[in-house]
Amino acid sequence: MTDEEFRDPRLAGLYDALDGDRSDLDTYLALAGTLHARRVLDVGCGTGTFALLLADRGCDVIGVDPAEASVEVARAKPGAERVRWVVGDATAVQARGQVHDRDLVTMTANTAQLIVDPPAWRATLTACRDALVPGGHLVFETRRPAARAWEAWTPQRTRRTTQVEGVGRVESWVETLSVEGPLVTFRWTYVLPDGRDGGGRGEALTLTSTSTLRFREQAEVEDDVRRAGLVVVDVREAPDRPGREFIVIACKDPVQG
């Protein structure tokens, strides 16, 4: 099930404005250049920000996401016709198009951690591998469990107000609901200024979105990647979150294919 903030058209339309700082994507753009990537599969593309940045650089891009509302936001953006958009997950791309020509597959932001079911995670890694040409790379990020990021997810520490064009002032905050082993569940709350109903009443509209992330240890992630038939090339600190998040770079064996 896709989280409400991605599948609810009202929230999907607010996503870019409320998550305005995407400096985390700079690392991925730099890696795409270093790896000389020309054909990219962006898994969990969301509203298409990274896919369109790649397209701006002349890459052949496929953006896939299970949330149709988010993909519709992406399709409405300038230049969206340069990207092939697919509603589904990494396995859906394979099922629909038998894609095997990508030299780079990416999973930015929370994409990897949102895949909490172990069989689904294994299937995703396998689909990413199958999409790659021999020697192609998979790059994704995940938070370090030891940093305990969820302890800072409280209304007191995260409450903010954002002026959104065409909407007005939107108040938002996040709150951790439960921590059960590697699974952390939390809820975002959004208060929109005007939730007019059919009677013309203009009262504030409150929307919520509940998410669960799986926090994986580095050794576990590396083992999962190897079991999917990929070679771990590097595990490095995320420049925007040193000590809190790491980036995995894996390769499809150029010999075995």
Kindly state the helix (H) or strand (E) to which residue 84 belongs, with its residue range: strand 83-87
Q: What backbone phi and psi angles, to 5 degrees, belong to 113?
A: -75, -25
Provide the 10 A C-beta neighbour count for residue 111: 21
**Dihedral sign, Cα of residue 235, residue 253, residue 220, residue 90:** positive
Give the span between the Cα atoms of 66 and 68, in whole angstroms.
Answer: 6
The band of 94, judged by pLDDT with boundaries at 50, 70 and 90, is low
Residue that the structure tokens 């790059």 belong to: 139
Gyration radius of the chain's alpha carbons: 19
235: pLDDT strictly greater than 80: yes
Q: Cβ neighbours of residue 135 under 8 Å, at least 6 residues apart?
A: 103, 251, 252, 254
Region 149-154: mean pLDDT is 97
Residue with more model confidence, 93 or 40:
40
Please return the burial class of 116, using the count of CB atoms within 10 Å of its CB with bins 0-12, 13-18 and 19+: middle
* The CA-based dihedral angle spanning residues 223, 221, 104, 255, taken in that order and rounded to the nearest 10 degrees: -10
The pLDDT, as a whole number, for residue 96 is: 61
Q: What is the length of the chain?
A: 257
Report whether pLDDT(224) > 70.
Answer: yes
pTM for this entry: 0.92
The stretch 187-210 carries a mean pLDDT of: 77
Tokens for 154?
């409280």
